[in-house]
């Protein structure tokens, strides 16, 4: 044992910082979160064990069901929006007839560089009910003002738009580099055989992008479940657009219900763990690792 | 339709669509910068926002009175730069070990890295805060740097590039009497420089834009990063700060990251960033 360690001391040494940091800042907090989730704790006195009470409370808490509903919306609408748009933009950028490629690539990537917090503030003003530009445009098109951030019914929409706006460039870039790897020969052969553009897209492009699209979907899923900045800055009335992660933050650090916040953290951990396992198994089966 | 008209049509359609997309990408940023130069009295309702009568720097002046901009800026720059440099160092070191060494438990450890890649530390925020308080890092900028000095995703990404470093070079360096750390520093790092550069640009922008952790750990305004200060602008001036002032704050946040991105863009070759994702 000692011999092996000594002989392979360099790789172990090189990996040890990661292992130590993981232990202290991920594994221990994760286990501790599970423990705290069974306690009542306001951060001042010692945590008091209350069994499953936090989880029972959660089941009857409308704020929790609101947060789950909202996060689900961000996930589904976000995934469809981001994947659809980034596939479209990537294909446009990869088009053979396109001039000034570098310019378009740089310009369409810019939203990803912009801080979501700053963009959230900007969106707050664009979506303002009485002075915002969005409603002004709606009015000039013959529509009526929509109380975007002041009504519970609409408050989730600006959040999801910001989420899609900011993340699309990242996935565009990933899909674009996937498109670069598809050999032109496939398309040439298909054209000779008389396949239409749509047929080529469905029969060649999509199957060959399979892995990449899956990777994108997994990443978007994780990003949606840990969404915080967008809904925190663009908060609507009550919990109308609160994300699960934001609810955890508010419960623990604003209302000082640290036990309940930890229980919400456990729910998040379980969801992320599930996603992680799925992607791990798929990657293994496709021989990627 | 002839083949030629078809190509022309197609070409204009592609360009038109892309211009529309570019407009959507750039508009909010342009709108923000225009308003930040408008006088507080001027109308910013709807389309009026886009017409400036008297461009002014008054909003920026007000902004500097409201929040300690320079201190916050230094805090943001410090955490972004030190955070990026340390994470590059430790991730590339571990990535190198996984890519180029054979040792007992390598595969198990690597699977472990991948399995933990998607799990975010945020879910354990409550105990993390307790740990940080225990080690005295609450209200310290190091609380933003230390936990992320080595991340699973960074190790995974850099390892993919290290795999391509030829073993023969490493072996000949060993024969020449170079130590293992020396090989990493003098042989491996120069070869994977492009990967390091692209990972650095992603990391530094992500750290600059970081919001949750600084919001959680930093307790007073002299320790805040720019992002936290700016996020509090709407309520910092009594009940409401004028939009013009808020937008001058967001301009100060966004413009440096855009400039940084454009600079790094000129150093990068295409397709590198997403290279770790295999098709």
CA A8 to chain centre: 39
CATH topology of domain A13-285: MetI-like fold (1.10.3720)
Measure the CA–CA gap between B128 and A36, rounded to whole angstroms. 12
Strands A48-49 and A39-40, bridge-based pairing? antiparallel
Residue B277 has pLDDT above 70, yes or no: no
Domain ranges in chain B? 3-56, 67-231
Query: Mapping DSSP to helix (H, G, I), strand (E, B) and coil, where does residue A39 land?
Result: strand
Lowest mean pLDDT among B73-82, B107-116, B155-164: B107-116
Question: Is CATH 2.160.10.10 the classification given to domain B67-231?
Answer: no
Residue B274 has pLDDT above 50, yes or no: no
Measure the CA–CA gap between A5 and A124, rounded to whole angstroms. 57
Cβ of A38 under 8 Å from any chain B Cβ? Answer: no
Measure the CA–CA gap between B250 and A121, rounded to whole angstroms. 8
pLDDT digits (tens, 9 = 90+) for A75-110: 999 999 999 999 999 999 999 899 888 999 999 999
Which residue out of A32, A100, A118 would a mutagenesis test of the B interface target, given it has the greatest number of B Cβ atoms within 10 Å? A118
Average pLDDT of chain B, as a whole number: 87
Instruction: Determine what percent of chain A is predicted with pLDDT higher than 70.
Output: 99
As for the ipTM of the complex, it is 0.90
pLDDT level of residue B269 (50, 70, 90 thresholds): low
Residue B1 has pLDDT above 80, yes or no: no
Measure the CA–CA gap between B63 and B250, rounded to whole angstroms. 11
Q: Nearest-CA neighbor of B277 among A257, A279, A52, A147?
A: A279
Report A:241-260 residues touching B (Cβ under 8 A): 245, 248-249, 252-253, 258
Which residue out of A37, A114, A229 would a mutagenesis test of the B interface target, given it has the greatest number of B Cβ atoms within 10 Å? A114
Residue A289 has pLDDT above 70, yes or no: no
Domain ranges in chain A? 13-285
Residue B270 has pLDDT above 50, yes or no: no
Span A117-138, mean pLDDT? 90
């Amino acid at each position: 044992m000692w011999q092996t360690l000594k002989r392979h001391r360099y790789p172990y040494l090189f990996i040890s910082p990661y292992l130590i940091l993981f232990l202290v800042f991920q594994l221990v907090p994760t286990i501790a979160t599970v423990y705290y989730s069974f306690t009542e704790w306001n951060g001042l006195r010692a945590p008091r064990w209350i069994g499953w009470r936090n989880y029972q409370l959660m089941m009857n808490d409308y704020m929790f069901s609101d947060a789950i509903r909202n996060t689900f919306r961000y996930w589904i609408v976000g995934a469809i929006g981001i994947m659809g748009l980034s596939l479209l933009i990537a294909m446009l950028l990869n088009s053979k007839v396109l001039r000034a490629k570098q310019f378009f690539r740089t310009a369409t990537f810019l939203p990803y560089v912009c801080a979501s917090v700053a963009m959230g503030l900007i969106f707050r003003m664009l979506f303002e009910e009485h002075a915002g530009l969005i409603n002004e445009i709606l009015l000039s098109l013959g529509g009526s003002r929509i109380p975007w951030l002041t009504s519970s019914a609409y408050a989730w929409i600006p959040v999801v738009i910001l989420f899609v706006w900011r993340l699309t460039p990242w996935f565009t870039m990933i899909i674009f580099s996937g498109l670069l790897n598809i050999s032109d020969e496939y398309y040439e052969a298909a054209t000779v055989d008389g396949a239409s553009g749509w047929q080529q897209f469905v029969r060649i492009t999509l199957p060959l992008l399979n892995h990449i699209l899956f990777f994108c979907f997994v990443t978007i899923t994780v990003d949606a479940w840990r969404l915080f900045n967008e809904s925190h800055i663009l908060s609507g009335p009550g919990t109308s657009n609160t994300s699960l992660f934001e609810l955890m933050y508010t419960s623990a650090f604003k209302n000082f219900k640290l036990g309940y916040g930890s229980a919400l953290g456990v729910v998040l951990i379980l969801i992320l763990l599930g996603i992680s396992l799925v992607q791990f198994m798929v990657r293994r089966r496709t021989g990627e690792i | 339709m002839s083949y030629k008209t078809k190509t022309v049509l197609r070409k204009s359609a592609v360009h038109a669509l892309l211009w529309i997309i570019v407009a959507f990408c750039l508009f909010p940023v342009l709108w923000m910068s225009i308003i930040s130069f408008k006088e507080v009295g001027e109308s910013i309702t709807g389309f009026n926002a886009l017409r400036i009568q008297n461009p002014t720097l008054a909003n920026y002046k007000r902004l500097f009175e409201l929040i300690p901009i320079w201190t916050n800026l230094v805090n943001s720059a410090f955490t972004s730069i030190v955070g990026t440099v340390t994470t590059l160092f430790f991730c590339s070191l571990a990535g190198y070990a996984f890519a180029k060494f054979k040792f007992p438990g390598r595969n198990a450890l690597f699977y472990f890295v991948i399995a933990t890649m998607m799990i975010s530390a945020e879910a354990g925020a409550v105990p993390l805060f307790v740990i940080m308080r225990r080690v005295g890092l609450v209200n310290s900028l190091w609380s933003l740097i230390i936990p992320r000095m080595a991340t699973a995703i960074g190790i995974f990404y850099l390892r993919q590039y290290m795999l391509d470093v030829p073993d023969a070079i490493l072996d000949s360096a060993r024969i020449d009497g170079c130590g293992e750390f020396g090989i990493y520093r003098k042989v491996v790092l120069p070869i994977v420089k492009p990967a390091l550069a692209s990972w650095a640009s992603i990391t530094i922008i992500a750290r600059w834009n970081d919001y949750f952790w600084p919001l959680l750990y930093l307790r007073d305004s002299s320790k805040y990063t720019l992002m936290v200060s700016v996020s509090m602008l709407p309520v910092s001036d009594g009940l409401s700060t004028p939009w013009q002032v808020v937008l001058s704050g967001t301009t100060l946040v966004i413009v440096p990251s855009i400039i940084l991105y454009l600079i790094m863009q000129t150093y990068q070759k295409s397709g590198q960033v997403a290279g770790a994702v295999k098709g």
